Amino acid sequence: AQKITQTQPGMFVQEKEAVTLDCTYDTSDQSYGLFWYKQPSSGEMIFLIYQGSYDEQNATEGRYSLNFQKARKSANLVISASQLGDSAMYFCAMRVRSSASKIIFGSGTRLSIRP
Amino acid sequence: EAGVTQSPTHLIKTRGQQATLRCSPISGHTSVYWYQQALGLGLQFLLWYDEGEERNRGNFPPRFSGRQFPNYSSELNVNALELEDSALYLCASTNTVDYGYTFGSGTRLTVV
């Protein structure tokens, strides 16, 4: 069975600091994708970054980077130079080829940026 | 390009009634997914439709059902509403197995 674990229910970070949101995953499949989504208070889910299991380099998208450590089955999200607008829920998610295409989500981390 | 659109934005129903939620995927996307997000909780997979067929469903009772139309839009129906069905219902679409979803803004269902 596949599982995503986010152990940080909430985090407070000072504006302009970097922040790391933890995510570990469990799957026996060799082919899978890892995602991070941001959910502001409005409710919509905003795609941030994607990492494929066969990608050798860590994914980056602007201020977001994914620290992918395959052997440890971790996929931490790093946000550099945090901004007030980064305050939101952040969900780590995984999709495996054998799971009939659905994405499973972690329980989320609520990130609050202090001015 | 229009994103995933969901309607209505908010829906208030009484216990025992039926609710119908609608979703239009991004043009060209053939797969539609439905998720339930109860207040303060993560996303629970409900249903997956692709090419008009139900491909997979999550651990929800049969009173949660839906369909996908020939234009790939989708409906989620919830019968015999219970108070615990109050949640944000998110629809997402994709056109590839290898990538992520694009989500709509959700329908917030309140059962009173």
pLDDT 10s per residue in chain A (115 long)? Answer: 789 999 999 999 999 999 999 999 999 888 889 999 999 998 889 999 999 999 989 999 999 999 999 999 999 999 999 999 999 999 999 988 766 567 899 999 999 999 9
Q: Of A5, A2, A1, A16, which Cα lies nearest the Cα of A75?
A: A5
CA A104 to CA A93: how far, in whole Å? Answer: 5
Instruction: Inform me whether the pLDDT recorded for B107 exceeds 90.
Output: yes
The predicted pLDDT at position A77 comes to 98
Task: Say yes or no: B42 contacts chain A, CB-CB below 8 A.
Answer: yes
Give the pair of three-digit tokens for residue B11: 């829906």
CA A88 to CA B94: how far, in whole Å? Answer: 24
In one-letter notation, the amino acid at residue B90 is: L
pLDDT band at B28 (very low <50, low <70, confident <90, very high): confident
Instruction: Inform me whether the pLDDT recorded for B98 exceeds 60.
Output: no
Task: Say yes or no: A107 contacts chain B, CB-CB below 8 A.
Answer: yes
The predicted pLDDT at position A98 comes to 66
Q: Of B47, B37, B54, B12, which Cα lies nearest the Cα of B105?
A: B37
Task: Answer yes or no: do A103 and B88 touch at CB < 8 A.
Answer: no
The predicted pLDDT at position B109 comes to 98
Compare B99 and A57 and report the one with higher pLDDT. A57
CA B101 to CA B94: how far, in whole Å? Answer: 5
Task: Answer yes or no: do A43 and B100 touch at CB < 8 A.
Answer: no
Torsion angle, CA of A4/A10/A16/A17, rounded to 10 degrees? -70
**CB half-sphere exposure, B2, CA atoms < 13 A:** 9
